[in-house]
Amino acid sequence: MRPIIKSNKLDTVCYDIRGPVHKEARHLEDEGHRILKLNIGNPAPFGFEAPEEIVRDVILNLPSAQGYCESKGLFSARKAIVQHYQSQGIFGVDIEDVYIGNGVSELIVMAMQGLLNTDDEVLIPSPDYPLWTAAVHLSGGKAQHYRCDEESDWFPDLDDIKSKITPRTRALVLINPNNPTGAVYSRDLLLEAVEICRQHDLILFADEIYDKILYDEAQHIPAASLSDDILTVTFNGLSKSYRAAGFRVGWMMLSGNLKDAKSYIEGLDMLASMRLCSNVPNQHAIQTALGGYQSINELLIDDGRLKVQRDTCVELLNQIPGISVKCPKGAMYAFPKLDAKKFNIRDDERLVLDLLKQKKILLVQGTAFNWPEPDHLRVVFLPHKEELEKALIEFGEFMDGYRQ
Ligand code: PLP
């Protein structure tokens, strides 16, 4: 038989969070090793369980959720999403403007597939959550990475964004709060980004999946609340704030200038109907999640578990000679910098592989987030304080004297 070759559509598609190093970790687990996984933002395995009331809703509704539903999702769930955004000052959104998907992941791919022609460009942050770049490339487009500036609290460099706009640029992606940097953007920054979209006819894609995971009185401002004359597509879901990543529930909401986006909306409607609908039982969690008690806040107050772990992570990383990290103001990740002079790392994937083999700790290399230099890593601070402390002390010992 002829060799079976993957589609060349995948030639430039890359998702290294679950790449070769992740495979090696699974291999080590198969051999009986215990790996500490500081590589993915999956709260439940670290004891951050979903609110009981949303689990109960799913169980109660299971018997009546056996059939398909509307392609865009259950009416009651979409209504709850519309009302939630109304309470955040985003008006004029109809339930028809809300699409529920199997996680935000599915909707990011759908939003790109419905938009891009060959070589159309999308402005994506560097570092990014790499699904954005992968989805653009899978859809035939080109990711133009704009630099986020570590020295300015990892805020997007607006001049870099402007300099990368071409006649083929279709959209600007903002991830706020940010994965992997933990940055939370100010109103002024967001207003400037909106203005760039306005001036260049760009769609604003706002990935706000960490909107409720905020530290030190940081405030999240929904991008959609800042304009009604550009098209804004907001993404959010139950995976992070509601610790229900396995439910695979996310949504996207279109707001602002829908009248000039009729054709794009037709495309999205078609893509939504082609996959019939998303997981029905778990959509029953949405209404209670958004309208109910926000138990995430207990984890973020001064002695809240996530806040304590964020503090521990930042403190211990900054104690390692040659490593420094900006304090994340949101989400569940730190993106420390490795001093180039001290470590002279040429291959950061090899670094995380060596760490995995020696210490059985799994991190993700910075270049997996489309960061251009091999001088950063991403650390997930979900483990309990004691486990995190032990892991970071071991990481420090490993880095001490590490050479390639
Ligand atoms: N967007 C960002 C910024 C993420 O970090 C993630 C997951 O880590 C996703 C989207 C995908 O989330 P979901 O579980 O809803 O597919």
122 and 24 co-located in one domain: no
- How far away, in angstroms, is 209 Cα from ligand 1 center? 7
Closest ligand 1 atom to the C-alpha of 178?
A: 3
Residue 329 sits in the same domain as residue 281: no
| Residue 38 belongs to domain spanning | 8-49+298-399
Same domain flag for 176 and 284: yes
Is 404 within the bounds of a domain? no
Per-residue pLDDT averaged across 130-156, rounded?
97
DSSP for 153-219, please give it: TTEE-HHHHHHT--TTEEEEEEESS-TTT-----HHHHHHHHHHHHHHT-EEEEE-TTTT-B-TT--
Whether the per-residue pLDDT at 18 is higher than 90: the answer is no
With contact defined as beta carbons under 8 Å apart, do 366 and 378 qualify? yes
Mutate to test the pocket of ligand 1, among 239, 241, 243, 247 (most ligand atoms within 8 A of CB): 239
* Mean pLDDT of the region 225-232: 97
122 pLDDT band (50/70/90 cuts)? very high
Instruction: Tell me the average pLDDT of the chain.
Output: 96
Instruction: Give the CATH number for residue 113.
Output: 3.40.640.10
Distance CA 209, CA 338 (A): 28
Give yes or no: residues 258 and 335 share one domain.
no
Asked if 144 and 260 sit in the same domain, the reply is: yes
pLDDT exceeds 90 at position 16 = no
Same domain, 70 and 165: yes
Ligand 1, CB cutoff 6 Å, lining residues: 41, 103-105, 129, 175, 179, 207, 209, 237, 239, 245, 250
Q: Report if residue 2 sits inside a domain.
A: no
Same-domain check for residues 25 and 147: no
Residues 263 and 282 in one domain: yes
Does 255 map to a domain? yes
* C-alpha 139 chain-centroid distance: 19
CATH number for the domain that contains residue 355: 3.90.1150.10
- Cα separation, 387 vs 349, whole angstroms: 24
Q: How far is the CA of 130 from the centre of ligand 1 (A)?
A: 10
Residue 339 has pLDDT above 90, yes or no: yes
Return the structure tokens found at 160.
């870099």
333 pLDDT tier (thresholds 50, 70, 90): very high
Q: Is the pLDDT of residue 404 over 90?
A: no
Report CA(344)–ligand 1 centroid distance (Å). 32
**pLDDT of amino acid 344:** 86
Burial of 31 (0-12, 13-18, 19+ CB in 10 A): exposed
pLDDT at 56 over 90: yes
Residues 287 and 302 in one domain: no
Residue 124 has pLDDT above 90, yes or no: yes
Q: Which two tokens stand for residue 292?
A: 């109910």
Q: pLDDT of 274-315, one tens digit each?
A: 999 999 999 999 999 999 899 999 999 999 999 999 999 999
Span from the CA of 304 to the centroid of ligand 1 (angstroms): 23
**DSSP run (H or E) holding 111:** helix 103-113
Q: State mean pLDDT over 260-279.
A: 98
Residue 20 confidence (pLDDT) above 90: no
pTM for the whole thing? 0.96
Picking from 183-197, 302-316, 332-346, which range would have the lowest pLDDT averaged per residue? 332-346
pLDDT tens for residues 144-166?
999 999 999 999 999 999 999 99
pLDDT at 19 over 90: no
- The predicted structure's pLDDT at residue 17: 79
Residues 306 and 276 in one domain: no
36 domain-assigned: yes
Pair 246, 310 in one domain? no
Within a domain: residue 1? Answer: no
Q: Which of the listed residues 264, 291, 318 is the one where a domain comes to its end?
A: 291
Q: Which of 266, 291, 316 is the last residue of a domain?
A: 291
Quote the ligand 1 centre to 271 CA distance (angstroms).
Answer: 20
Instruction: Answer whether residue 267 is part of any domain.
Output: yes
**pLDDT of amino acid 277:** 97
The tokens for 194 are 């909106």
pLDDT at 341 over 90: no
Q: Does 42 reside within a domain?
A: yes
Residue 3 maps to a domain: no
392 and 335, same domain (yes or no): yes
Nearby residues of 356 by Cβ (< 8 Å), 6 or more positions away: 21, 24, 25, 28, 35, 362
Q: Which residue is listed with tokens 């994937």?
A: 349
Domain count, the chain: 2
Q: Give the pLDDT band (50/70/90) at residue 193.
A: very high
Q: Which of 291, 326, 357 is the last residue of a domain?
A: 291
The token duo for 395 is 């990481």
List beta partners, residue 175: 207
